[in-house]
Amino acid sequence: MCVDTRILALLCDPDTHDALELGDDCLVNPKSGRRYPVRDEIAVFVGEVSGQNRKYQTMYDRLAPGYDFAERVYYWIRRKPSHRKEYVADLEIREGARVLEVSVGTGANVPFLPKNIEFFGLDLSWGMLQKCKRNLERWRRQADLFHGEGERLPFRDAIFDCVFHVGGINFFNDKARAIQEMIRVARPGTKVMIVDETEKVVNRDYTKNPLTRKYYAGQGKMASCPVDLVPAEMSDVQAREIIGGRMYCLTFSKP
Ligand SMILES: C[S@@+](CC[C@H](N)C(=O)[O-])C[C@H]1O[C@@H](n2cnc3c(N)ncnc32)[C@H](O)[C@@H]1O
């Protein structure tokens, strides 16, 4: 991303929701003077990261170089090489839609999305974003990437036609706040989708894998579908298991 006036008009300070201005290699909140750097064409909204977010930021920074390969092998062994199709089709993305993936990771969902959309991806791990940037160049897919936390989205209210998340929310510092943020940035009528691993997969696979076990030991109970955190005013709330019970898929619409 080269932050231009088109993008700037969609951004805000993730803490105060004030409008931002362009500075030299940064974005500036003119009210507070707070500056957000732009590095490698990615605006950085991550400050001090704590708790679970810090733990998993460290893990994904370490795993980023081998993430895509390891993931392909994992699903190939389990005979689910097209597992992403199971939920992406359900997003019902229209041509020209503005789409946000919270926790975009290495961008592995992008090849399954329509080409003619305006795609925005945000992630907490700089390593995953760097891998995502390289993948997008290789796939010749255009996207705007942001380094940020799901609990503090740097986007203005009601600007996205589709908002989705895959694979991280189970262990966010504040799941409820992340869900509220996804709702805030979605336009009325938008479908929001949240997909993540079920408890049995975390307990069975991630706590046994030598690369991940130290991060997931004793964490299985946190992996539950956050349907109870969806505000009552949301409509068409649906929760189901997908990919042979490996993941849950929660969807709802913003009225
Ligand atoms: C399993 S990966 C999934 C990536 C991608 N969505 C996919 O489907 O392949 C989980 C991602 O969540 C990100 N993440 C973890 N905690 C986060 C947070 N609090 N805010 C934003 N992203 C976060 C990680 O950095 C990682 O890239």
pTM above 0.75, yes or no: yes
Q: Which residues contact 111 (CB under 8 A, 6 or more apart)?
A: 139, 141
4/9: higher pLDDT: 9
If phi over 0 gives left and psi between -120 and 50 gives alpha, with beta otherwise, what is residue 207? alpha
Q: What is the pLDDT at residue 218?
A: 82
Compute, in angstroms, the gap from residue 197 CA to the centroid of ligand 1: 12
Compute, in angstroms, the gap from residue 124 CA to the centroid of ligand 1: 7
| Span 91-140, pLDDT tens digits | 999 999 999 999 999 999 999 999 999 999 999 999 999 999 999 999 99
What is the Cα–Cα distance from 229 to 45, expressed in whole angstroms? 25
Tokens representing 184? 């805030």
Q: Which residues sit opposite 235 in a β-bridge?
A: 253
| Span 19-29, pLDDT tens digits | 999 999 999 99
Q: What is the pLDDT at residue 77?
A: 84
Q: Is the CB of 56 inside a 6 Å radius of any atom of ligand 1?
A: yes
| Span 156-211, pLDDT tens digits | 999 999 999 999 999 999 999 999 999 999 999 999 999 999 998 888 888 888 88
| Span 197-255, pLDDT tens digits | 999 888 888 888 888 888 888 887 888 999 999 999 999 999 999 999 999 999 999 99
Q: Is the CB of 53 inside a 6 Å radius of any atom of ligand 1?
A: yes
Closest protein CA for atom 25 of ligand 1? 125
Q: Is the CB of 107 inside a 6 Å radius of any atom of ligand 1?
A: no
Q: Is the CB of 105 inside a 6 Å radius of any atom of ligand 1?
A: yes
